[in-house]
Amino acid sequence: MSAPEHLALITHRPDGVAVGFLEADVSRPQLSVLDSAPVRGDGIFETFSLANGRPQSLELHLDRFAASARALDLPEPTLAVWRDAIFAIAAHFADVEEAWLKIVLTRGVEAGPAATGSAPEGTAPTGWVYAAPAPDFTRARTEGISVAVLDRGLRSDVAATSPWLLAGAKTLSYAVNRAAQREAVRRGADDVVFVSSDGLLLEGPTSTLIVRQGSQLVTPPASLGILAGTTQADLFEAAHLWGLSTAIEVLRASDLMSADAAWLVSSVRHAAPIREVDGVTITVDAELSQGMNDFLRSRRA
């Protein structure tokens, strides 16, 4: 794992509009302890891959970034400025085959506890971009990963009934996602597949689930309160290359065990075939996994 090497700080006006960015030293403290990110995980992010310095699926990520901002009542991100900052940071990685880049937007510096949830007036949002060489994921992409199936606690209808639960928004409040991954490690697994409290397959803590049923790739609908996967979207666009159709459908936990193959796909690790579910071996489709990963690495936009 290589540490991030380059950082840009986005400059925001108090009205929430971004006006520019400055590169900064990532090895130095750059954030106030009063920022809403460390105070309450109150912000949003996106992580995407850089292929020789080219951001992959940039517009899908920026669309989702803007959707997360709306879900959290954050100011609309000024995407032109974010794109400039992203390309400036990405340019440092032109000689690196695989790198990752992360963008973060928060509500800004907070003054302290309030009687209600209203933000202190006149606070500008905080934003930043950083990037690092990617770790080597060859093993996960070829040999596959083992997963534990864990209850996410939420019903599959919360995105419709309870938008304040922020299901489907990519927030900085990921302590539960990390705790679930530690629980998986305790169970001898590499990663997690979440199920809803009513037994529907959802997603991984940092990835999207895809299963193959015959000649069809299937992923659960975002309406279940999960993230619309950018890597999944790119793979579904490309499925015809492998003679496959695609469907977005509700899946039950048993569908994972009976699938012809399954993957957790994400922006940086790409397609990791699932080789074991709660200790039970399932089929790895090595050829299709390699096809997916070759395709994902080769994306030029």
Residues 50 to 79 in contact with its own copies, rule: CB under 8 A: 71-73
**Which listed range, 75-83, 110-118, 216-224, 235-243, lies at the site for its own copies (CB under 8 A)?**
110-118
- Under the criterion CB under 8 A, does residue 125 sit at the interface with its own copies? no
In angstroms, the CA 9 to CA 85 distance is 8
- Under the criterion CB under 8 A, does residue 166 sit at the interface with its own copies? yes
- Under the criterion CB under 8 A, does residue 167 sit at the interface with its own copies? yes
- Under the criterion CB under 8 A, does residue 290 sit at the interface with its own copies? no
Where do we find the tokens 């100011």? Answer: 75
- Under the criterion CB under 8 A, does residue 33 sit at the interface with its own copies? yes
Taking the complex as a whole, how short is the minimal distance between the CB of residue 49 and its own copies, in angstroms? Answer: 10
Site residues for its own copies, window 190-209 (CB under 8 A)? 190-191, 197, 205-206
**Which listed range, 29-37, 236-244, 249-257, 289-297, lies at the site for its own copies (CB under 8 A)?**
29-37
Taking the complex as a whole, how short is the minimal distance between the CB of residue 31 and its own copies, in angstroms? Answer: 4
Q: Is 178 helix (H, G, I), strand (E, B) or coil?
A: helix
With CB under 8 A as the contact rule, the residue among 11, 17, 47, 260 that binds its own copies is 47
By rule CB under 8 A, what count of residues binds its own copies?
81
Q: Is 127 helix (H, G, I), strand (E, B) or coil?
A: strand
- Under the criterion CB under 8 A, does residue 7 sit at the interface with its own copies? yes
In angstroms, the CA 106 to CA 125 distance is 6
- Under the criterion CB under 8 A, does residue 177 sit at the interface with its own copies? yes
Query: Hey, what long-range contacts does 194-198 have (CB within 8 A, 24 or more apart)?
Result: 194/149, 194/150, 194/151, 194/152, 195/149, 195/150, 195/151, 195/152, 195/253, 196/151, 196/152, 196/154, 196/155, 196/156, 196/224, 196/225, 197/151, 197/152, 197/153, 197/154, 197/155, 197/156, 198/155, 198/156
- Under the criterion CB under 8 A, does residue 14 sit at the interface with its own copies? no
